[in-house]
Structure 1
Amino acid sequence: MQGREGDNEMNSASESNTACGGRRILVVDDDRDALVILGDFLEAKDMAVVTAMDGHEALARFHDDGPFDLAVLDVMMPGLDGLEVCRRLKASPQGQLTPVLLVSARTDTKSRVAGLYGGADDYINKPVDLTEFLARVEVLLRVRDRYQQLNNRRSDAIDAALVDGLTGTVNALYFKRRLTEEIQRADRYQLAMTVILIDVLGLPDPPTADRQASDTNPTAGSSQPVDKLLAKLGLGLSSTLRGHDLIARLRRSRFAVLLSHTSKQDAQAVIERVKAAASQLKASADQTESLSLRIGCAELGPKMNSEGLLARAEPL
C-alpha cells in the first residue's frame, strides 16, 4: 500500500509540473520570507516567478514584465493593499483575463467576500498550506486556459464572419460597414477618399448550380478552376495595395478597393498596379486567355453616402 501511495504522489507531482510548466506568475507580498517560500515553491514546479514587495511595484511589474498567467497577491500590505491592486489589475485590458489569487491572514467571511467582490478569482488563508496552494493555482490556470480557448474561438468566428474564405479578402458585409465609417471620417475631417470596383471578365463558367449559389454566397461553388483563379487574383490584387487600403470580394467576380486619404487622380496609380497584377496572372496561369478586368473608380463627393459612391464607381 505504501509503495502504491508513493507512486500516486509521484504521478500527481509529475502531472502538476506538466500542467504548470512554463507559466509566468506574479507573486506579491511585503513579507520577504513568505515571498521566498511561495516563489521557490512555484519555481520548483517549473514556473517562472516575478516578485514584488508592495502594491505599486506589483502594478509596475505587471505592466512592464507581463503578460502573466496568474497573480498571487497578499491582501494586507502597507500603502496600496492587495484588494486595490486586484481592482486596478482587473480594470486594465491586460489584466481582465489574468486570474488573481488573494493570500491573507484574515480568515473571516467578510474579508473573503470583499476580496472576491473586488475581482479576485480565489482566496487562500495564511499560513499557506502548499498542497492546497498548488491545487488552487492549478485550478485557476485551467480556468484561464479555458477562457483563452473560448476567446480564441470567438476571435476565429469573428474573422470567419468578416473574411471571404476563397480569396482571403474581406467580405461584402465588412466592406460596406467600413465604407460607411470611412465616409463619416472623411466628411468630418475633409479628407479625400476613393473607391475602385473591379469586375473580372472571361472566367470559365462554373456549373449552373455553382453559379446560382455564388450569387448569394461569394465563397460558395465547387468549380475548382474558377476558385483557383479567383484565389490567385485576390492574392495578386491584395499585393498591389498599401497597408491601410482595404480590398473585398463583393460577389463572385467583383472586387472592391477602398482607398482612404486618396484622390481619384492618385488612385490611377493603384489601378495600373491592379492591371499589372492581372496581366501577370494571365501570363502564368492556365485557362486565363480570355481573362480581363473592367474597372470603375469614383471619389467621394459632398453629401454622398455609400450607395451613391458605389453607384458612381460602377464600371462602364
Structure 2
Amino acid sequence: MSARVLVVDDLFPNLKLLETKLTLEYFDVVTAMNGPDALAVCEKGLCDIVLLDVMMPGMDGFEVCRRIKGTPTTAHLPVVMVTALDQPSDRLRGLDAGADDFLTKPIDDVALLARVRSLVRLKAITDELRGRAMASRDYGFGDPLAAAAAETGLDASILVVEDRRSSADRLATALGQYHRVTIETDPHKAVARASEGEYDAAIVSLDLDGVDGLRLCSQLRSLDRTRNMPVVMLADPGDRARIMRGLDLGVHDYLMRPIDRNELVARVRTQVRRKRFAHSLRESVQASMELAVTDGLTGLHNRRYLDSHLAGVFAEPALRGRPVSLLLLDIDRFKSINDRFGHDAGDEVLRDFADRIRAHTRGIDVVARFGGEEIVVVVPDTGLDGARQVAERIRERVETVPFAIHRGTRSVDVTVSIGVATRQPGDTSALDLLKRADTALYRAKEDGRNRVVAAAA
C-alpha cells in the first residue's frame, strides 16, 4: 500500500536514512527538519502519516504532535514518535500528546514497515468518511471534524480477553478508573461476547491456553459486528514475529509485558478516540444522507426521494407489472391558516398533518412532501378501490380531530382534499400517474373540498 510519509528530524543523516528505507518500499516521502515546517506540510494535506523525531530544538516532537492532534483538519493523521528515549514515562508523554505509536532508535526495519503499513491502512478507512462528512456542513451540522476531534476517549466499554486471572484483574483495575471493563477468561466465548456487546475496544492476550490469540484477533477484525472495534494485543517480548503478523492482519495496537499501567491507559484511550472519531464521521455522513432525501419540517421524504422512487417503480421490470396507486393530498384553504394564525401555526399544522398520514399508511408506503402543503402517498400493490379507502380514512382523521396550534393553547379545524389514481397499462412514466392524481385533486377542490376523488380509469 503506497502512501505519503512525512519524516521529521533535525539531523540530516537520520532524515536521509529513513527516507531511503521508505522509498525502497515504494512510499512517497516528504521531509521536514523542524516543527513549524512539519505542521505546514500537515496543514496542506501533503502527507498520510508522520514519523516524528522527539528531540528537536525549538519546538520538540511532543509539541508538534500535540498541535497536529489538536487541529481538526489534521487530527486524523497517524503520528509515530521516533526517539532514542525508551522509558515508559517518555512513551506516556508522547501518547498523552496524541501519538499513535513509538519507534525506538536504532529503528528495526521490520517494525517500521509493519507499523507504517498498519496505520496507513487504518487512515484509509476514515479518509473517505472525512470527505463525505464535510458535506454535512452544508446541512447546518457545523464542522464534523471539530466535533470528532474533541473526543476524550474516556468512559468506554472495554472487553479484556485474558485467561490468567491475576493478569486480567490487574488490567481491570488499571482501566476501571476510566472505563467500564468486562473480563472474559474463556477465549472460546470471546468472539460471541464481543459480537453481542457494544464494546469500544478489545484487549486480547496472545498467550491464551489452547487458543491461538492471533486467530482470535483476526476473527474480531473480520466479523461485521466487531470490524470497527479496535483490537489491542498483549504480547511477551518473544512474540515479535506474531506482533508483526497481527499488525499485518489489521490489529490496531499492542502492549508488551510487563505492562506499564499508564501506557495501557494511554494506548486504550488513543484507540477509543480513533474509533469514536470514525463513528462520529459515519453518523455525520448518515445524517447528511438522510437530510438529502428528507423534508426538514415534516420529517417526510422530500420531492427528490419521491421522484427517484417513482422512477424505479416504472423502470424496474419486477415492479412494472405490479399495481401501484398514488394519493395526492392538499390541505384546504391553508393560506388562510397562515394569514389568521401566523406561519408558525401553519408549520404546526403541517407537522401534525404529516403525522396523521403516517399513522394511516403502511411501512411499505412512501409518504413524501410534494411541495407547500401538498403530500404524496405511493401505495404499492394496491388498486384504485383500496387506495380510495386509505384516502378516506386519512380525510376523516383530518376532519374530525382539530389541530393544536400555538403550542397547544389553541386549535383550528382543518380539512383535506385528496386525488387518487392508479397506474394504467398505457402509463410510460410516473408523470402520467401524477397528472391523473392532480386532475382528480382539482375536481375534489372544484366539487367543494374535503372529499376524495378517484381518477377515471
TM-score scaled by length of structure 2: 0.54
- 1:193 is matched with 324
CA distance in 2 between counterparts of 1:287 and 1:297 reads 32
Equivalent in 123, 133, 136 of residue 267 of structure 2: 136
- 1:307 is matched with 431
Percent sequence identity over matched residues? 23
Equivalent in 69, 89, 92 of residue 220 of structure 2: 89
Q: Which segment is superposed worse, 298-307 or 173-182? A: 298-307
CA distance in 2 between counterparts of 1:139 and 1:42 reads 13
1:293 correspondence with 2:417? yes
Q: Which segment is superposed worse, 128-137 or 236-245? A: 236-245
Equivalent in 9, 22, 36 of residue 169 of structure 2: 36
Shift of 1:172: 1.1
Equivalent in 191, 195, 210 of residue 59 of structure 1: 191
For 1:49, what is the secondary structure of its paired residue? strand
CA distance in 2 between counterparts of 1:174 and 1:107 reads 58
CA contact (8 A) 1:52 1:61 kept: no
1:166 correspondence with 2:297? yes
CA contact (8 A) 1:39 1:51 kept: no
CA distance in 2 between counterparts of 1:226 and 1:174 reads 24
For 1:196, what is the secondary structure of its paired residue? strand
1:118 correspondence with 2:249? yes
For 2:325, what is the secondary structure of its paired residue? strand
- 1:269 is matched with 389
CA distance in 2 between counterparts of 1:58 and 1:184 reads 47
- 1:235 is matched with 355
Gaps of 5+ in 2: 1-95, 97-151, 441-457
Amino acid at match of 1:132: E
CA distance change for structure 1 residues 48 and 264 in 2, over 3 Å: closer, same or farther?
farther
For 2:376, what is the secondary structure of its paired residue? strand
CA contact (8 A) 2:403 2:411 kept: no
CA contact (8 A) 1:298 1:309 kept: yes
CA distance change for structure 1 residues 313 and 230 in 2, over 3 Å: closer, same or farther?
same
Amino acid at match of 1:63: S
For 1:278, what is the secondary structure of its paired residue? helix
Shift of 1:227: 3.0
Deviation sequence 1:3-22 (CA, Å, 0-9, x none):
xxxxxxxxx9xxxxx9644x
Amino acid at match of 1:297: A
- 1:244 is matched with 364
CA distance in 2 between counterparts of 1:251 and 1:103 reads 59
1:196-215 paired onto structure 2 within 5 Å:
196-204=327-335
Shift of 1:248: 0.5
Shift of 1:182: 4.8
CA distance in 1 between counterparts of 2:248 and 2:433 reads 52
Amino acid at match of 1:138: R
Please tell me the root mean square deviation across aligned C-alpha atoms, in Å: 3.4
Amino acid at match of 1:165: G
- 1:215 is matched with none
CA contact (8 A) 1:203 1:288 kept: no
CA contact (8 A) 1:193 1:300 kept: no
- 1:50 is matched with 183
For 1:199, what is the secondary structure of its paired residue? strand
Shift of 1:133: 0.7
CA distance in 1 between counterparts of 2:429 and 2:210 reads 56
Deviation sequence 1:122-171 (CA, Å, 0-9, x none):
11112211221111112222222222222222222222222111222111
For 1:259, what is the secondary structure of its paired residue? strand
1:104 correspondence with 2:224? no
TM-score scaled by length of structure 1: 0.74
CA distance in 2 between counterparts of 1:24 and 1:192 reads 50
Shift of 1:275: 1.0
CA contact (8 A) 1:199 1:255 kept: yes
Amino acid at match of 2:388: Q
Gaps of 5+ in 1: 1-11, 13-17, 208-221
CA contact (8 A) 2:168 2:183 kept: no
Shift of 1:293: 1.3
CA distance in 2 between counterparts of 1:20 and 1:289 reads 52
Q: Which segment is superposed worse, 285-294 or 80-89? A: 285-294
CA contact (8 A) 2:329 2:375 kept: yes
CA contact (8 A) 1:31 1:53 kept: no
CA contact (8 A) 1:297 1:313 kept: yes
CA contact (8 A) 1:186 1:192 kept: no
CA contact (8 A) 1:25 1:47 kept: yes
Equivalent in 179, 184, 191 of residue 310 of structure 2: 179
Shift of 1:287: 10
- 1:24 is matched with 157
1:149 correspondence with 2:280? yes
Shift of 1:261: 3.0
Amino acid at match of 1:37: R
